[in-house]
Amino acid sequence: MMERTEREEIQERYKSVIFPDPILEPLWTGKRPTEKLNGRYAIMDQKENTFYNFCTDQYQIVHHEEVIKMVEEAVKALPEFGNAVITPRIMAAGGKMAVTAKFLGVDYEIRKGDIVNPTINVKTSYDLGWKLSQMFGAYRLVCSNGMTIGEVFSRFKKRHVISLNPQELSESIKEGMSLFSDQVGLWKNWANQLVSEEAYDMAWKNLPFSTAEKEKIENLHEQQTRLLLPDALKRNELNLWDFNNVLTQFVTHEMTSELRKVELGPQIARVMETIH
């Protein structure tokens, strides 16, 4: 477990992030209550007295600061990819955290002037809602969109970081980087793949958006091309890459819930991959 001083070093580097201070509180039972429940605890933030979840004595707190440190060390061990911009986001009253490392020195061009950079996304939680895990994604420079990689990386996505081992995470990033060019090839195909009205309607049945959100998305101009989805579809000019970009643009820039942003990415990717 990371020492307090080490955690404070991380907190100092990420001053805009409000880190919780989790502890395991023993549980008691009985009318008073006076009888301690052996092997059972409440995971609490002692700063705000926030309850996260119950756990057994097998549970060990993995501090958010420890996860950030692991990501930092993993990236340092991969100088061939250049520096990464590391951004932690705390959610659910401190119960969840997502850390994104963007490799801005590694450029891939999908179409002229449309650049994406590989990213690594690490998730962790105190409320037991997320396992400590990682998946690959991309950062689209032209309008600062984040997106999740789907099918090509499915086996990589399912590989959970069991230990706080930066070397293990570095190896996973290397593996992901080797696959990233395959994903870029898929996206290049998307830029030339037209979406039919039938495929468009079917996609909306499976996308995780409400009717009101769909209306907002269909009135949202894609930042690079300025297209609107219904207009491009009507002219038979809507390609899959632009469809995906408008969706991720909405999630990245229009949604206020950080938690929902993180959870929507993989869902959008899965639906996009079903469109043929």
Out of 33-37, 57-61, 164-168, 259-263, give the one with best mean pLDDT: 259-263
Residue 81 has what pLDDT? 93
Predicted model pTM: 0.89
Amino acid of residue 230: P
Confidence of residue 153 (pLDDT cuts 50, 70, 90): low
| Block residue for tokens 């939680």 | 125
Rg, the chain, Cα only: 21
Where are the chain's structural domains?
A: 4-56, 64-188, 197-272
Considering the chain, what percentage of its residues have pLDDT values greater than 90?
76
Concatenated DSSP letters of 6-72 = HHHHHHHHTTTS----EEEEEEEETTTT-EEEEEEEEEEETTTTEEEEEEETT-----HHHHHHHHH
Confidence of residue 147 (pLDDT cuts 50, 70, 90): very high
pLDDT at 160 over 50: no
